[in-house]
């Protein structure tokens, strides 16, 4: 997925132990985007963290031994034979409960690396116990894999690497080299193939025969292969501390250079009646969501939604934001159900390293939408069936479970256009459509739609 680097506003902090102020030697590389300036003060040191989550990082270091956990696992081939000297790295992390206020690659544990031994075993020590982790596993001669693990659940299932077949046909491969703005090679960059273009037309999504993932080596180099000849491959290139980038790369043996940028920063504050709203989730989506042409060139902006939690003071900050792009910023509906709703706020990033402040985003009373999904054959609805409401502007949804008679309710809706998508096994909307458009400008009660196995015209009442 697309990574939003999540940081609170700049802040100054002092660590106190027994009334004595001390400083902590924390490496910039270990903490992702963190940059710092050391200021000597009477009685100790104080770290001024610029654009970083100082409170979390210092607390993590202070409590490092008390609550830390160890993660162990194994790597093998398809025949169960252990693979030694595979590189295992912590690529992403996130909180198990609530909404993360940091980007997935900005936690202190992200960037840690280790190697498997002769038994295929790897181990990470001193990991934060309240986080899940995504590991990237790479070995020469094999295709890389990623796995999501929760150390509190014990060792994960053995990671299985497939032998990477040799490809000699230039029309079945792309080769690249990822560099930063200064031209320096970037290792451990995730390259995710998104599609291919060939004389049979474009294909987008999960494609049989297309490498699902590539990871750059120490020289920043990568290679992606496909089972069939193609003219281009569409790649999503994501690196820690950088803005993501889509690249349509021609096939061939020539190694194309892919420069990445740091991206812009979008920050703001979520408030209700002038008071900060903490523990809520903020979404960020391009105003023009766009797509790709048959030649795999991007039209509009096809970046996925970025999400982040708000701090105690209601503030949020998203870094690594691509530019130039116009964006919508909004409070996520399901995180604000008991409070109300927000109107999407439009902003724009115009250049790399730009700081964009959207100011206060207001939480206001939301509207209610009650309705019923009726089955045309008169049957009752099975347990577990659902209905989804989706915002036309924001990349935001709510999901409700249908009662046996089909009733449902959504709350916390702002003014605007939405779509309703019933999901009842064995029943569909007529004409093959997946949703019904609605408009919310007041509370709505007693809305209904009829589903039919035969696809009859829906009835609203």
> What's the confidence (pLDDT) of residue 267?
97
Using the predicted structure, report yes or no on whether residue 292 has a pLDDT greater than 60. Answer: yes
Q: Tell me the average pLDDT across 255-269.
A: 97
> What's the confidence (pLDDT) of residue 454?
56
Which CATH number applies to 264-362?
Answer: 2.60.40.10
**pLDDT, greater one: 62 or 162:** 162
Residue 165: pLDDT band (50, 70, 90) is: confident
Q: Tell me the average pLDDT across 124-130.
A: 92
Q: What is the distance between the alpha carbons of residues 315 and 446, in angstroms, rounded to a whole number?
A: 38
Q: What angle do CA 162, 80, 138 make, to 5 degrees?
A: 40
> What's the confidence (pLDDT) of residue 302?
92
> What's the confidence (pLDDT) of residue 36?
33
Domain ranges across the chain: 5-62, 69-161, 170-259, 264-362, 367-451
* pLDDT tens digits, one per residue of 1-16: 333 333 333 333 333 3
Using the predicted structure, report yes or no on whether residue 166 has a pLDDT greater than 80. Answer: yes
Q: Tell me the average pLDDT across 95-101.
A: 85
Tokens describing residue 99: 């909404």
Using the predicted structure, report yes or no on whether residue 17 has a pLDDT greater than 60. Answer: no
> What's the confidence (pLDDT) of residue 58?
37
Check if 264-362 and 367-451 are the same fold. Answer: yes
* pLDDT tens digits, one per residue of 446-457: 899 999 885 454
Only one residue has tokens 């491969």, namely 173
> What's the confidence (pLDDT) of residue 2?
35
> What's the confidence (pLDDT) of residue 48?
32
Which CATH number applies to 367-451?
Answer: 2.60.40.10
Q: Tell me the average pLDDT across 158-178.
A: 94
**pLDDT, greater one: 100 or 226:** 226
Using the predicted structure, report yes or no on whether residue 276 has a pLDDT greater than 60. Answer: yes
* pLDDT tens digits, one per residue of 371-427: 999 998 899 999 999 999 999 988 899 999 999 999 999 999 999 999 999 999 989
> What's the confidence (pLDDT) of residue 247?
96
Contact 128, 68 (CB under 8 A): yes
Write out the CATH class of domain 69-161. mainly beta
Using the predicted structure, report yes or no on whether residue 265 has a pLDDT greater than 60. Answer: yes
Which CATH number applies to 170-259?
Answer: 2.60.40.4130
């Amino acid at each position: 997925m697309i990574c939003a680097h999540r940081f609170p506003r700049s802040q100054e902090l002092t660590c106190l132990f027994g009334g004595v102020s001390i400083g902590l030697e924390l490496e910039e590389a270990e903490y992702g985007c963190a940059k710092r300036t050391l200021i000597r003060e009477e009685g100790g040191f104080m770290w001024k963290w610029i654009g970083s989550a100082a409170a979390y990082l210092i607390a993590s270091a202070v409590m490092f031994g008390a609550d830390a956990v160890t993660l162990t696992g194994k790597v093998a081939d398809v025949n169960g034979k252990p693979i030694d000297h595979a590189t295992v790295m912590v690529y992403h992390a996130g909180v198990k409960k609530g909404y993360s206020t940091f980007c997935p690659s900005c936690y202190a544990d992200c960037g840690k690396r280790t190697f498997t031994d002769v038994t295929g075993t790897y181990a990470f020590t001193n990991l934060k116990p309240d986080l899940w982790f995504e590991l990237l596993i790479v070995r020469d001669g094999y295709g890389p894999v990623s796995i999501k693990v929760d150390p509190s659940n014990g060792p994960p299932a053995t990671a299985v690497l497939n032998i990477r077949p040799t490809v000699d046909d230039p029309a079945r491969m792309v080769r690249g080299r990822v560099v930063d703005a200064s031209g320096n090679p970037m290792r451990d960059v995730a390259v995710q193939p998104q599609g291919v273009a060939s004389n049979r037309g474009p294909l987008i999504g999960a494609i049989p025969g297309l490498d699902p993932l590539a990871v750059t080596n120490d020289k920043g180099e990568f290679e992606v292969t496909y089972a069939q000849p193609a003219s281009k491959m569409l790649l999503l290139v994501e690196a820690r501390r950088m803005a993501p980038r889509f690249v349509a790369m021609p096939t061939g043996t020539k190694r194309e250079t892919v420069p990445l940028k740091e991206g812009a920063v979008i920050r703001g504050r979520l408030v209700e009646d002038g008071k900060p709203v903490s523990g809520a989730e903020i979404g960020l989506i391009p105003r023009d969501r766009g797509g790709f042409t048959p030649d795999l060139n991007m039209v509009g902006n096809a970046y996925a939604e970025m999400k982040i939690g708000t701090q105690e003071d209601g503030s949020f900050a998203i870094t690594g934001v691509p530019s130039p792009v116009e964006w919508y910023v909004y409070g996520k509906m399901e995180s604000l159900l008991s409070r109300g709703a927000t109107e999407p706020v439009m902003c724009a990033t115009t250049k790399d390293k730009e700081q964009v402040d959207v100011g206060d985003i207001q939480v206001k009373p939301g509207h209610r939408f009650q309705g019923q999904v009726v089955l045309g054959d008169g049957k009752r609805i099975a347990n577990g069936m659902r209905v989804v409401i989706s915002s036309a502007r924001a990349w935001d949804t709510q999901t409700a479970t249908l009662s046996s008679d089909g009733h449902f309710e959504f709350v916390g809706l702002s003014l605007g256009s939405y779509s309703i998508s019933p999901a009842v096994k064995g029943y569909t909307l007529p004409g093959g459509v997946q949703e019904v458009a609605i408009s919310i400008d007041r509370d709505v009660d007693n809305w209904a739609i009829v589903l039919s196995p035969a696809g009859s015209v829906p009835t609203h009442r």
